[in-house]
Structure 1
Amino acid sequence: MLSILLVTFPFFALVLCGYVAARRRLLPQAAIPGLNTFVLYFALPCMLYRFGANTPVAQLLDGSLVAVYLLCALIMVGFTIAVTRNQRIGWNDASFGALVAAFPNTGFMGVPLLVALLGAQAAGPAIVTIVIDLLVTSSLCIALSRLDSADSHGAEVAAKNALKGVALNPMPWAIVLGAVSSGLAITLPAPVMQTLGLLADAASPVALFTIGAVLARSQMNSVEKIPVADYLPVALIKLVLHPVLVGLVGLGAIQLGVPLDPFALTVIVLVAALPSASNVSLLAERFGANNGRIARIILLSTVLAFFSFSAAVALLT
């Protein structure tokens, strides 16, 4: 367990550093969007491209892995909406609550953390989950969030906007370009690769620091008092139910003869054990959901994940 904590502690410590910097106003709130832009449009795409280019295409096109993770994501969305939607929490808030329950922080935290724990071969399965969550889980939850609208075309318009957002997100394109480079054995010129390498190496520390700053900003800007019952159960669903569900469905698939690699299953179970994706808070704010509730779920899941994720790694490795 100590060896696991030696790997996981620095990752969560960087999140804490970003949180403290924002809370103590050492990092102005106006600077946080700039950090987000650097990570999302420069550093993280370079990291994902590098991992994609160094991963065999067969790993990125693993149909069994896609089927298991996608099925679990759909179950998570449906279950979370079913147990949280009530008179106070409508479709909009319930849908974004479902998104934080089903969407792990794989891009900003998961890929570098899992590679540090399990080796470079963990990048392929983790990247597959990013694509599913960006293309399907996010789009589905945004579409469902519009069902509160009296406009019968609300969900359709939201789905189109979600797909447009995916098209403008550099992360899927970086993964696709990396897969193409891997499949065609394309090697970029050395100066270009060195530049990509510098940006890729910056992705993990800056992304983790930014997660903490974003969480602090969300907490500082939230003035509404929210009942614990509105966010604690969703955080526990994310950290406990999600990885258990992925593990059980994956083991069941293997028992039925589905060619799912046990190592890949371990990776996606640990992906599911990650805390909620921090960018969901930005989506919730954009679509008018209760961002204070979403921010609390993300913050709580991130704090608890230091213990729960480390325990999951100890159990599975």
Structure 2
Amino acid sequence: MLQVFSITFPFFALVLCGYVAARRLLLPLEAVTGLNSFVLFFALPCMLFRFGANTPLAQLLDVGVLVTYLLCALLMVAFTVAVSLSRRIGWNDAAFGALVAAFPNSGFMGVPLLVALLGAQAAGPVIATMVIDMLVTSSLCIALSRLDGADAHGARKALKSALKGVLGNPLPWAIVLGALASALQLELPKPVAQTVGLLADAASPVALFTIGAVLARSQMLAARRGHAPIPLGDYLPVAAFKLFLHPLLVLLVGSSAIWLGLALDRFALTVLVLVAALPSASNVSLLAERFGADNGRIARIILVSTAAAFVSFSLAVSSLT
């Protein structure tokens, strides 16, 4: 267990550093957007391209991994929406609550952390889960969020907007280009490869620092706007769904799939379970704000899941490896 903590501690410590820097205004809140843009448009795409290019195409397109993770994501969304809908929580807030329950922080945190824990072979399954979450889970939840007083046309419009956002997201394109490079055995010219390598090496520390800064900013902005106190029942159960129900569901579905004869490797299943055990994706708060959901509630879920994951994720790693 101490060995696991020795690996996970630096990752969560960097998140804490970003949180403290933003809370103490050592990092101006206006600069958080710039940090986020650097990670999203430069560093993280280079890291994903490098991992994709160095991963066999069969691992990136593993049908067993894709089917198992997709089924679990759909079940998590359906369950969280069903238990969240109430007089106070409509479709918009329930849908984004479901998104933080089903969408782990696999890009900013999962890829570097799981590669550090399990080796480079873990990158393929993690990247496959990112494709599902960016293309399917996010689009579905955004479409569901439009059902508050909207007709089917409104939901279709929201889904179209979500798909447009996916096309403008550089991460899926980086994955596609990396997969093509892997399939065609292409190598970048040395100066270009070195540039990509420098940006890729910057992705992990800057992304983790940015997670903390984004969480602090969300909390501070909610306080400035006079957000009413959020009942514990509105966010603690969803954080628990993310950290405990999601990985347990993936373990049960994946084990059942293997028992039924689906071609799912045991190592890949371990990676999927640990991806599901990650805290909620920090960028969901930006989506919630954009679509008018209760961003204070979403930010609180992400903050609680990130803080608690230092222990819960480490315990999951210790029990599975």
Give the TM-score, by structure 2 length. Answer: 0.98
Question: For 1:231, what is the secondary structure of its paired residue?
Answer: helix
Name the aligned partner's letter for residue 119 of structure 2.
G
Where do 1:1-317 residues align within 5 Å?
Answer: 1-223=1-223, 224=227, 225-317=229-321
Structure 1 distance, partners of 2:200, 2:287, is: 25
In angstroms, what is the RMSD of aligned CA positions? 0.5
Question: For 1:153, what is the secondary structure of its paired residue?
Answer: helix
Structure 2 distance, partners of 1:75, 1:114, is: 24
Structure 2 distance, partners of 1:82, 1:30, is: 37
Deviations 1:32-61 (A, max 9, x none): 000000000000000000000000000011
1:150 Cα deviation from its structure 2 partner: 3.2
Name the aligned partner's letter for residue 285 of structure 1.
E
Structure 2 distance, partners of 1:258, 1:120, is: 24
Deviations 1:171-192 (A, max 9, x none): 0000000000000000011111
Name the aligned partner's letter for residue 205 of structure 2.
P
1:153 Cα deviation from its structure 2 partner: 1.1
Structure 2 distance, partners of 1:242, 1:89, is: 22
> Tell me, which stretches of 5 or more residues in structure 1 are unaligned?
none
Question: For 1:26, what is the secondary structure of its paired residue?
Answer: coil
Structure 1 distance, partners of 2:127, 2:152, is: 35
Question: For 2:261, what is the secondary structure of its paired residue?
Answer: coil
Structure 1 distance, partners of 2:298, 2:283, is: 10
1:30 Cα deviation from its structure 2 partner: 0.6
1:149 Cα deviation from its structure 2 partner: 3.1
Name the aligned partner's letter for residue 275 of structure 2.
V
Structure 2 distance, partners of 1:165, 1:33, is: 17
Deviations 1:236-293 (A, max 9, x none): 0000000000000000000001110000000010000000000000000000000000
Name the aligned partner's letter for residue 64 of structure 2.
S
1:232 Cα deviation from its structure 2 partner: 0.2
Structure 2 distance, partners of 1:62, 1:113, is: 21
Structure 1 distance, partners of 2:311, 2:136, is: 29
Name the aligned partner's letter for residue 74 of structure 1.
L
Question: For 1:288, what is the secondary structure of its paired residue?
Answer: coil
Question: For 2:186, what is the secondary structure of its paired residue?
Answer: coil
Identity %: 75
1:64 Cα deviation from its structure 2 partner: 1.0
Question: For 2:134, what is the secondary structure of its paired residue?
Answer: helix
Deviations 1:117-149 (A, max 9, x none): 000000000000000000000000000000003
Structure 2 distance, partners of 1:152, 1:169, is: 26
1:151 Cα deviation from its structure 2 partner: 4.1
Question: For 2:281, what is the secondary structure of its paired residue?
Answer: coil
Structure 2 distance, partners of 1:66, 1:96, is: 22
Runs of 4+ with deviation above 6 angstroms: none
Structure 1 distance, partners of 2:283, 2:135, is: 15
